[in-house]
Each structure stands twice: as structure tokens, then as C-alpha cells.
Amino acid sequence: MKKKAIVLSIFLMLVISTVAVNGLSINKNNIIKTEKKIRYTNFEDSIIDAELPIWNIGDTWVYDGSIEGKQGTVAEFDIDFNDMTLEVSAVNPTNYTVDISVEEGDVTGRVSGELGIKVTGNLKDTFISGFFYVNKTDLAIDSFDVNIEGTVDAFIDVDFSAQLKTIFFDGITFDRMMYNTLDFPINIADTWDRLETYVITEASVNLLPDPISLYFDILETSFSCNLWDMVDVSGTDYDALKIQRNDENNHIWYSPRAGNIIKVDFSNMDLNFGYYLDSLTMNLKSTNYYVPTVPPETPSVPSGEAIVDVGTAVTYATSTTDQDGDKIRYIFDFSDGTTVTSDFYESGVEASVSKIWEEKGNFEVKVKARDKWGGESDYSDVFSVEVLNDPPAKPETPSGETNGQIKKKSYTYTTSSTDPNGHKIRFEFDWGDGSKAYSSYVNSGESGSATNTWYSQGSYEIKVRAEDEYGEQSEWSDPLLVSMPKTKSIMLQNFPIFSKILQKFSLFLEKMEIL
């Protein structure tokens, strides 16, 4: 069948098949706590990091994203899409029907390619509608049917519409199949592979006399679940499993709390047949998906050192239990503007985090617990901590030239000091002329130096103080007095007449001595 580059079909194919190819669903910023529903397959198996979620009619996810790519030198696109909505419209015996829609005007960007004629311009008045099927046993995509309509604002406006139907085939046997990147249940350190898959899209475009076929080849791919990550999407924190695709450039984040992937960050993907994906990003914007959960109990008061030095690593620990037996992670608030989140721990197991205090003062440490479904406890009672920082010793009197000339030369001065806490220190030089300069940081006990040029005649007192890497300052050193007279030297050799006079005067003096 005749192949043509239909750039908007390519765009939509990539977006939706990425939703498929990455097992993508979106997540929630706005938790709507309505009736309690079963949301995962086994309430008792708390050791599993992510079980297969269960969706219900009306579950909705909305996200924003962008996609940039090309098909050889024939087509290019750089497109943003806002408020792309996925909603479960039917729950069938074996699959879910998920509607997809993007309102008119929420697909924007620039495209270049063939839409029956060569077209380059900006999208306007563009919208998307359609549906796809998701397998209930593993969230694999079966197929999707989508319509995209709009206008390309080129030299002349070009109205277009395309109806797309996409299906998947096994890359070895060429049998019909479904595709998904996820492999439930998912646990930290799990790895899995996906065999080569062909993606075929049948497209009917109003600007073409006949339907066309678009082909994509997803090569054999490996996935690995690396760690629990805290991800901020649209202002809401989610605990998500970070999943890597083949290499460090491509990641997806799956959140049990959302029952789906909450973030996609892909780049430099070769889809064969000339198609290349430069980048694809997707982020949750909102959802009404909700997992019923009983929050963990309030954690115990944090334990650890109550009197510490700035720059010292200190461990703080706590524990609590979860009535559902869910895994728990702890968020420590140190009241200095920083928080530290622990890994996930089994219910009842003591958890600890390390903290390096960056400033001295009195602080209150408190902690709350959160299960993987987003249920949070109250904060614990506070644990008081006093953070100390001794100042560096008074620096030595600066050493260097005590006489010099203004404007003609820069002069370097050196000093040293020690820090009782072993912190790195730098030196602030006051040149006595209204200017100051800092040395580089050096280890305690080492020398530091800085350079200055004076521009006015006079005597100046150079003094210096030490400052450790956390901002604690010493007293000023004893001063070094320097004198900077005016420059009066005259280069007589540049004036021959004066040189001759000087020579004759010297001869005259010699004769006087002989007499």
C-alpha cells in the first residue's frame, strides 16, 4: 500500500502508542474521596511494591505533555498538548474501554510534512477524540480508534481530519497481540523484557483519496525497576516506582496511589521506518482516581543526637505501624527549611535518615508517616536539637609588601587560620581603601591569599578575618601597615637631550675630583 508521511497522524500515533507502549495512565493531583472501591488485587500482600490496579467506570486522568520528532527529512513536528483526558467509559469481562479527548485549541505547535500537499505551519483549532482498549489482567493496550481534526496555519489554512486505528503484532510470529511495558506485580530490582513488536496504524485522511498505513517497529526492549522515587507532578508529591527503559535516557514512573504511570521522560528513540522520537514528556495534571486506605499511626518522637556540630552527619530514627499492613516511608521535617524522606519500610520496622545541619541554632525535628497509597499520619511530637558552630581562630597578621606604588602593580598578601571543627575556611581581606576580596576555600591550617591594587597615595591597614564554609566568622586579625606613595619615576632614556646633559654633568664632577 502506498506510504506517505502524514505528520499529524504520526504525532497522534506516537502519543497514544506511547500511552500504550508504556502502559501509560495518568494520575491524580486532586483526590476525590467518594465511595470506597476495590483498587488493587490483594489487600493482604503488603510486601509487593505495586500490584495490578483495578479501574472503575468514571475513573479519569488528565495530563499535559509535549512531543518532538521527525520522519527522515520528510516530516517534523514539535507539539504541546494540554488537558488530554482519559476516562474509563466501560468495564467489560476482559478489558476496559478508555475514552480519550483533547478539547479544541489544546493541541498546539508546529508541523511540517505531507497532508496530500506539502504543508508547514502552526496547528490551530485542533482537537482529538476516540477510545482504546486496555486488558484488565495486565493493563496492556489492545487497540485504539482515534480521530484528530484541525487546521494547519500555513501560507493558506489547511483543514484536515484523520481517523486512526492502531493494532499490534508479534515481531517474530506476526500474530496479533497486545502490548505493555509493565509487568505486574512490580518490586524494586525487578527486570523484564518485551519482544520486538510491530505497530500498524490504518489512517483515513480527508486530503488523501485512499487510506494509508503507517508502520512502527518497537525493538526488543528491557525494563528495570530501580527505586522508589518521590515525584512532584503539578504540585503534588507521589511515591512512584522509577522504571528505566534500556538506558538512562528513558524513564517512566508508576505510582500505586494513582494506579498508573504518573510521568514519562523519553528522548532519542528510533522507531524504525524512518521515524525518530527526539523527546516525549507527560505529566499528570489531575485525576479522580482514589485508593481507600487507613493512614499509618502517628510515628514515635524522632531519636538521635540533641547537641551536634554544623557539618556533622547525624542519624535520626522513628517507627510506627500501619493498620492495613502497608509499607511506610517517613518524612522528616527539620524546621530549617529542609525535609528528608526515608525509603519504604515494613510496618513496625524502625526507619532512619541521615541529616547534615548547615547552620547553627535551635531546631525542632518532627516526622510523619505515609503509605504507598498516599495515606499520611499526623506529625509526631518534636525532638529539640541544638546545632553548634565554633568560629575559626583569629587569623595571622597578613604578610606581603609594606611599600609599593599606586596603579603600577598588584600586591599579594597571605594569612592562615585554623577551624576548631575542621571546616574549610576562606579569608576576607579588607584593604583599607574601601574594597575587600575573598580567598578561595582552603583546609583548616592552610594559607589563603588575595591580591589588590591601590589607586590613591597613602598609608593603609590591611586586616583579614576567616569564615568557615557554613558562614561562621572569626575576629579580625591584627593589621599590616602598608605605604603607597605616588609614582615619580621618569624614564630619561626616552629623552636624549636630558641624557646628554646628565653625561656632561657626570664628566664635570669627575674633573672636580681630580683637581
* Residue 298 within any structural domain of the chain: no
Q: Which residue has the cell 497481540?
A: 177
- Determine the Cα–Cα distance for residues 349 and 351; give it in Å rounded to an integer: 6
The answer to whether 372 and 452 have CB atoms below 8 angstroms apart is: no
Mean pLDDT for 320-337 is 94
Which range is least confidently modeled, 209-218, 476-485, 501-510? 501-510
Identify the pLDDT of residue 487: 61
Residues 214 and 222 sit within 8 Å (Cβ to Cβ)? no
pLDDT > 80? residue 503: no
Give the three cell numbers for residue 195.
519482544
Q: Residue 294 domain-assigned?
A: no
CB 243 within 8 A of CB 226: yes
pLDDT band at 102 (very low <50, low <70, confident <90, very high): very high
Question: Would you give the DSSP letter of residue 492?
Answer: G
Residue ending a domain, among 335, 368, 388, is: 388
What is the identity of the amino acid at 249? N
Residue 95, beta-bridge partner list: 135
80: in domain: yes
484 in a structural domain: yes
**Comparing 175-179, 180-184, 266-270, which segment has the lowest mean pLDDT?**
266-270
Of 473, 374, 366, the closest CA to residue 430 belongs to: 473
Domain span holding position 362 = 307-388
Separation between Cα atoms, residue 462 and residue 415, nearest integer Å: 11
Confidence of residue 274 (pLDDT cuts 50, 70, 90): confident
CATH of the domain at 338: 2.60.40.10
Rounded Cα gap, residues 59 and 89, in angstroms: 8
Residue 502's pLDDT band, with cuts at 50, 70 and 90, is low
**Same domain assignment for residues 382 and 405:** no
pLDDT at 116: 53
- Residue 114's pLDDT is what? 63
- Asked if the model's pLDDT at residue 384 lies above 90, the reply is yes
For the cut 70, the answer to whether the pLDDT of residue 17 exceeds it is no
The residues, any chain, with a CB within 8 Å of residue 485's CB and separated by 6 or more, are 403, 405, 406, 457
3-state SS class at 73: coil
Same domain, 226 and 365: no
pLDDT of residue 31 exceeding 50, the answer is no
Task: Tell me, yes or no, whether 251 and 334 share the same domain.
Answer: no
Higher pLDDT, 18 or 201: 201
Are the C-beta atoms of 108 and 66 separated by less than 8 Å?
A: no
pLDDT tier, 112 (very low <50, low <70, confident <90, very high otherwise): confident
Q: Which residues contact 410 (CB under 8 A, 6 or more apart)?
A: 451, 452, 453
In the block, which residue shows the cell 482516581?
Answer: 289
Query: H/E element holding 244?
Result: strand 236-245
Asked whether residue 1 carries a pLDDT value surpassing 50, the answer given is no
Distance CA 24, CA 281 (A): 12
pLDDT band at 307 (very low <50, low <70, confident <90, very high): very high
Helices (H), 66-224: none
Residue 30 confidence (pLDDT)? 34
Total residue count of the chain as it appears in this document = 515
Q: Hey, CA dihedral for 443, 444, 446, 449, is it positive or negative? A: positive
Query: Has residue 90 been placed in a domain?
Result: yes
The C-alpha atoms of residue 355 and residue 176 are separated, in whole angstroms, by 54
Beta partners for residue 170, in sequence order: 197
Cell of 220: 526488543
d(CA 100, CA 160): 19
For the chain, give the percent of residues with pLDDT over 90.
55
Same-domain pairing of 510 and 494: yes
Same domain for 352 and 396, yes or no, is: no
Best CA proximity match to 15, nearest among 88, 73, 64: 64
Q: Are residues 403 and 313 in the same domain?
A: no
Highest-confidence segment of 62-66, 218-222, 474-478: 474-478
> Does residue 196 share a domain with residue 233?
yes
pLDDT at 20: 42
| Overall average pLDDT of the 290-299 stretch | 92
Q: Amino acid identity, residue 18? A: T
Residue with cell 525493538: 219
Q: What does the pLDDT average to over 103-115?
A: 83
* Mean pLDDT value across residues 152-174: 85
Residue where one domain finishes, among candidates 287, 320, 345: 287
Domain co-membership, 365 together with 227: no
State which of 287, 316, 335 marks the end of a domain: 287
Q: How many domains does the chain have?
A: 3
Task: Note the pLDDT tens digit of each residue in 125-143.
Answer: 999 999 999 999 999 988 8
* 496 and 438 both lie in a single domain: yes
Assess whether pLDDT exceeds 50 at residue 105: yes
Domain contains 96: yes
Helix (H) or strand (E) holding 120: strand 118-135
Are 417 and 454 members of one domain? Answer: yes
- Residue 145 pLDDT: 92
Task: Examine the domain organization and report whether 342 and 360 are in the same domain.
Answer: yes
Nearest to 167 by CA among 217, 124, 118, 202: 202
Same domain for 203 and 65: yes
